[in-house]
Structure 1
Amino acid sequence: MKKVNLKIKDKIMLMNMGILIPVITFIYIITINNLYSNVIKSSIDFLTKESYNTQLYIENYIEKDQDLDAETSFINKGPLINTYLANKLNFRTQIYDKTGNILSDSVMNNLNLYNEDITDSINGNKAYVVKKIDGNMYVLFSSPIYFKNVTLGCIRYIYPLHSGQEIINNMFVIMGIIACLSVFISWILSRLFSEKIAGPIKELKIVSEKIAKGEYDNKIEIESGDEIEDFAKTFNLTTESIKNYIESLKEEKQKQKNFLDNVTHELKTPLTAIIGYSELIPRLENKKDVEDSLIYIKKEGRRLLKLVEELLELSKIGKAEFNVDRNGNNLCEVIEEALNVIQLRAKKYDIEIIKEIFDTNLFIDKDKTKQVILNVLDNAIKYSECTSIIVKMEEKDSCVILSIIDDGIGIEKNHLDKLFEPINGVKKVNSISKNGNGLGLCICKEIMKKQNGDIEIYSEEKKWTSVKIIFRKSY
């Protein structure tokens, strides 16, 4: 047998190809399999969680129907329940009775989808199969439905894997392209520039490790005049894109946090009033005082309900801010309502409320304006250590100015400019409350700006603080 003599370049090339091709193939197979497994696992986790919600929903639904036994109610209400779940989840669902007969299918067709998952589910186990339907992959996930430890039947989710399958297919193509390119480039470089490969690859490895640790400012600087240099430039662009994307995620997370903080603060004021009056009622002997307290509780309860409805609406349309609904309202009446809400707390801390107000109609959002006034009064009670609060109105040019002045400890000058910033507050050691979140005045500023008004704060340390809420008469 004739001995084959290979040059060193050929040996390097064959050695590199012999290592590179199996490694790429192995990574290719492992990655695709892992990606497929993760898509399936993610889908199963989602459907498992949803099955618990469905169990609770159906159980509560059946409990309300006291005219029929649970099994009959489940059979009769099955189609209605299935329609609701399919509309809610936006994918196909089926409901089976305990014998395996289908009660309802949100999509009517002639395909027989009965599989072992239905049998397992009726026997009390959650089960699933992955099946191709009309050329598309689906997870058929079945979960038993119980009522008082008795199996009524099961629900099956027919969950499409379109997006996951698309990701797998795209990854399949991308990794195939990358694999082919890697082999081709390695073959060329092994023959022509084998001695120059180690340096750039080492540099790429070092920078990749730094980027993997979150150090996105690192750049690859390679001036080889070939594909490696182009790859380095593309890598830098990709790194910059990742950095920008992560920054945008952080900003979005902060917006969501701010929105949650705003919601918490919005809900706090009416809840405080409701709790205060509910605690007062058992100590009241006069029937009229009890009735008045119940009226305030009802008003604040309705305001709280309206606020919750608004928050739910904002959540549906994906907004993270509050809108104002301006109408003609008597500012004097709004002030009186706010004073009635906080009068118990003011009395508790022996704070005298002095009013100098008059009737005037303005184009404002009544509830939001009341919230602003309550917030300012609440801050005065909690933080100022005052003995009296003056609430007075005055007209100046085309404005109505509501001033809320306390004779408390005042605010340091270096803090005044920061009071309207989110997550900023002035916390006093001896104040009634040390738990302010610093969001109240920020919200008040936003509300007044949206009403074509403003809010300003003036203070002299150890003497007084004056908050001016400015309303413009023009629409």
Structure 2
Amino acid sequence: MKLRNKLFIQHTITIIMLLAAMYVVVNYTLSKSMIERDTQTLSQYYDLHRIEALKIVNDKKISIEQLFSGTYAPLIASHLAANSNFQVQLFDPEGTIIGDSGNREDLVKRSDIDAALAGQTATVITEGENSKMLIYASPFLYEGKIVGGFRYLLDLNKHEETLSAMRTWFIGVALGCLLVALLASYSFSFFIMQPLHALQQALKLVTVGDFSRKITVRSQDEVRELADDFNRMSEALQEHIELLHYEQSKQKKFYDNVTHELKTPLTSIIGFSDLIDKMERIDDIRTCNVYIRKESTRLLQMVEELLQSSLKGDEAWRVQLERTDLAAILTDSLRILEPTLHKSAITTVVQVEPCEVYMDPKRTQQVLFNVIENAIKHSDCTQLNVRLEQQEYRCLVRITDNGKGMDEEETRTLFHPSAEKAERPVSAHSHGLGLLLCKQLMELQGGDITVHSREGSGTEVILSFQMEPVRPLGLLQN
């Protein structure tokens, strides 16, 4: 089924439901208001009839008990019903109807009389084969005692005739409104579908790679916005396809860089998993599980970031500086790398003291992982010295190994982009994304990273952090 037909059917059903709801509400409201009006009218008649009955008692010099007796009650009922459109009945304290101005007694229900003799005003609607009656019963109090009651029977057939005429009129008007609304809906849906048909044709061209088709809509509504969005989408798709062709040439280098960043959390997860098999204490196993979950979460975050950003791309990484204890970050990073250090038979000597600096904890931990992992993989060291010291307005992290070191040329090009280095396969001496990324992340935080090394004498990496607030650049660009 086409969208135009669906819209037409939906509008038809909606309009019919609204008209049906209006019919029910109007019919119920009118019927209820008419019943309430008649009940109020009968209540007012009761007040007048009570006064008139008391006047008869006074004029005729009869007792109130005689008023509700078989002698006077029929005459009083006929007198009170004169010039009125309802039937009047009088009943005694036993509930017996002793006076009646009409002949409707056969359809009477006694529940209203019982309620009246109990001291309450009662309203009841009864239905016969060809009639519908409104019954209003009220007790007659005299000197604080119920001596009988008045009862009024109002024929509702005229009300039903009025309601029936109203229903006929309402249905006729509703059908007319429905016809006009459906014609308007059909025309409006045709007007809406025109630009959608044009959009459908343009989308067919997009599926075959043709983004030249543009849609023009003159109306100032959501359809116009949809057409403008489609035109912008076509232009954006064309630009992204061109950019995709350009990015394809850099995929291999990007994957190499991503692999470099994912090694640290993966190595930690594998290391802690191996340690679990060797542990017996539940607390130690839980500690390993905590670090496995932590590194898994960090791995997921790194995957999301690295898939959106690379050092060779146009995307940007943001840093958020906050005042944090650098000693806690450093200790936590060494704890995560503990399985890798243990597997590589590297001992660590750690000297830290509390030092609060302004940094991005996540980016700082990323820098520490890269630096320590480079020492593990590339220095062939057996000992790693980590020291945290405070100097005036900054804190320094010194990471020193006793490995083979590097010559002056290799040290000088550590932080150069890969494109500026001599082409060579990845080896134990290669440094790709890691150190260059570390330098830029440190500079974004207002800090710095320096490397001192001499061949055969080991390597020292110094990370400098600011203790005073700095204004971060906020973005890491290509």
Query: What range is the shorter-chain TM-score in?
Result: 0.3 to 0.5
Give the structure with higher Rg (CA).
2
TM-score for both structures, normalised by structure 1: 0.46
TM-score for both structures, normalised by structure 2: 0.46
